[in-house]
Amino acid sequence: MIRACIFDMDGLMIDSEPLAMEAWQAALRPFGHSIDGTLFEQMLGLRQTECAMLLRDHFHLPLPIEALTRQRNDTFLALLPGRLRAMPGLHELLAELRARGVKRAIATSGERRYVTTVIREMELEGTFDAMVVAEDVTRGKPAPDVYLLAAQRLGLPPAQCLVLEDALNGVAAAKAAGMTCVAVPNPLSRSPDFAAADKVMPSLLAVRDNLDALMG
């Protein structure tokens, strides 16, 4: 029986992927490069240092990944105020989970200062029982570490956790952790094959409406 719901954040809880793309494009612009949709799909779910490594190797960039990550993060954080939007159904799903007494956690590839900004901007303080961010684990998604640590902080075995994800790397991480995973694709992740997920649903509202079946 499912006793907790663990949320990815970017592209799942909030419509942040377009802002992330904008920030990466700005970081690459001085080098004459840009990211297409196929390359961006490979980046979804990865930590920012891993995204920077992928881009550095792909474009043969002449700078350390730390510098590229810093440029992207500074631009990204400057874009956030007033532009963050909850994905459809987020608040309704959270309210239903709370009413049912289901524990809630975030397990994200985002860095702590960014996640803290999102929680504040979206007025979600006190909503989650546990949170795991990029700095908390050695390995990012698709390794299972963020989800295993989230379960540990919730005090539950992985088999009692339902994960909501929008990216292939995140689905792989959830399944490697031994958890049930529902993929909720967003407009930037609708083309990948989510066959590894236990279910694919069109929105968080659909997840709310199917909780009885999902929680078994």
Residue labelled with tokens 């942040």:
16
202 C-beta neighbours (distance < 10 Å), count: 12
SS3 state of residue 169: helix
Catalytic residues: 8, 10
Amino acid present at 75: T
Residue labelled with tokens 């289901």:
102
3-state helix, strand, coil in the chain (%, to 5): 50, 10, 40
Q: What is the DSSP string of 56-74?
A: HHHHT-SS-HHHHHHHHHH
Q: What is the DSSP letter of 162?
A: E
How far, in Å, CA of 192 to CA of 215, rounded? 25
